[in-house]
Amino acid sequence: MAFTTPWTSSVSPLIRTGHSHRLPLPPSKPFRCLARVSSAALSEAADLERRKHDLLRAVQDTRRGLTTTADQRSSIEESLVNVERYGAGTGVDLGTLDGTWRLNYTSASDVLVLLEASERLPFFQVGQIFQKFECRDRTDGGIVRNVVRWSVPTLLEEQDGATLLVTAKFYVVSKRNIYLQFEEIAIENINISEELQTLIAPAILPRSFLSLQILQFLKTFKAQTPVRSSERRSVGGLYYLSYLDRDMLLGRAVGGRGVFIFTRAQPLRR
């Protein structure tokens, strides 16, 4: 808060004591004004944290959006808007965006179909889903990686048996909008289960060169393919970053294709 007019009083700002030095009177009015501003800022910050907590509480029983009812969707949308109004109109700080974010909730059909398949198919499990932005020290864009941990029970390690990786470049096109240009889909980080390892190379027998080669191949296996449309063009879309701070990221796929609620996560192991 700027002070354009100096504080004045009919009493001199210096009073004489019985000694040879003078004591200044405290400038109490500016301090009181600053205290009011600080109190208002603290109140707003507390209100924001409460609304963020309400949003996370609204989505916690939805299994990341898979089992959301109509009433829950309405409540989530209301809580989402209550958080989004904070910081509206300001640009996205790519330094804050940089890092790993864990998916808590989505209404996007292309993600829900994976969660649905995990629910229906006994041989397919979906673990944690992340979005990893690489844009530190950038102002125009960067790289975003959509990371899906998945597994096949008994063949791969539970929940973390393999990684589906969808990589895209992104470009800042306005204060809050980024354009995603998808580049590649890959399957990597295969972690086979102990049961499968034992089947390939039993612990009670000497491990042959061939069995060791098979194990090494599976562990280092990576399959990848470029993302192209039927016209051989790159696939892309607009993504609206509706809210961002140090521990929460909210996004909306432009065109009504779904909302996303993320919280900050630890860096991923590669």
Give the ranges where 6-155 is alpha helix by DSSP (H). Answer: 28-59, 70-84, 94-97, 109-120
Instruction: Give pLDDT, residue 44.
Output: 85
Alpha-carbon distance 264 to 248, whole Å?
A: 6
Tell me what the mean pLDDT of segment 33-45 comes to.
70
SS3 content of the chain, % helix, strand, coil (to 5): 30, 35, 35
Q: What is the pTM of this model?
A: 0.75
Q: For a pLDDT cut of 70, what percent of the chain falls above it? A: 72
Residue 237 phi/psi, 5° resolution?
A: -175, 160
Number of alpha carbons in the 13 Å side-chain half-sphere of residue 33: 8
Alpha-carbon distance 245 to 97, whole Å?
A: 8
Band of pLDDT at residue 179, cut at 50, 70 and 90 = very high
Instruction: Give pLDDT, residue 5.
Output: 41
Q: For a pLDDT cut of 90, what percent of the chain falls above it? A: 49
Question: Pairing mode, if any, of strands 99-106 and 125-134?
Answer: antiparallel
CB 181 within 8 A of CB 164: no
Alpha-carbon distance 232 to 229, whole Å?
A: 5
Query: 35-44: which pairs have CB atoms within 8 A and are 24 or more residues apart?
Result: 37/1
Alpha-carbon distance 40 to 207, whole Å?
A: 69
Which residue has tokens 């909306």? Answer: 252
Would the pLDDT of 12 be above 50? Answer: no
Would the pLDDT of 219 be above 70? Answer: no
CA distances from 179 to 23, 51, 250, 259 (A): 62, 28, 16, 16
Would the pLDDT of 63 be above 90? Answer: yes
Instruction: Of 43, 163, 149, 50, give the one whose Cα is nearest residue 102.
Output: 149
* Cα angle: 79, vertex 83, 87; to 5 degrees: 160
Instruction: Give pLDDT, residue 128.
Output: 93
Alpha-carbon distance 219 to 156, whole Å?
A: 11
Instruction: Give pLDDT, residue 90.
Output: 86
The number of residues in the chain equals 270
Tell me what the mean pLDDT of segment 59-70 comes to.
94
CB 147 within 8 A of CB 268: yes
Band of pLDDT at residue 198, cut at 50, 70 and 90 = low
CA distances from 224 to 22, 134, 162, 188 (A): 79, 20, 13, 8
Alpha-carbon distance 180 to 60, whole Å?
A: 28
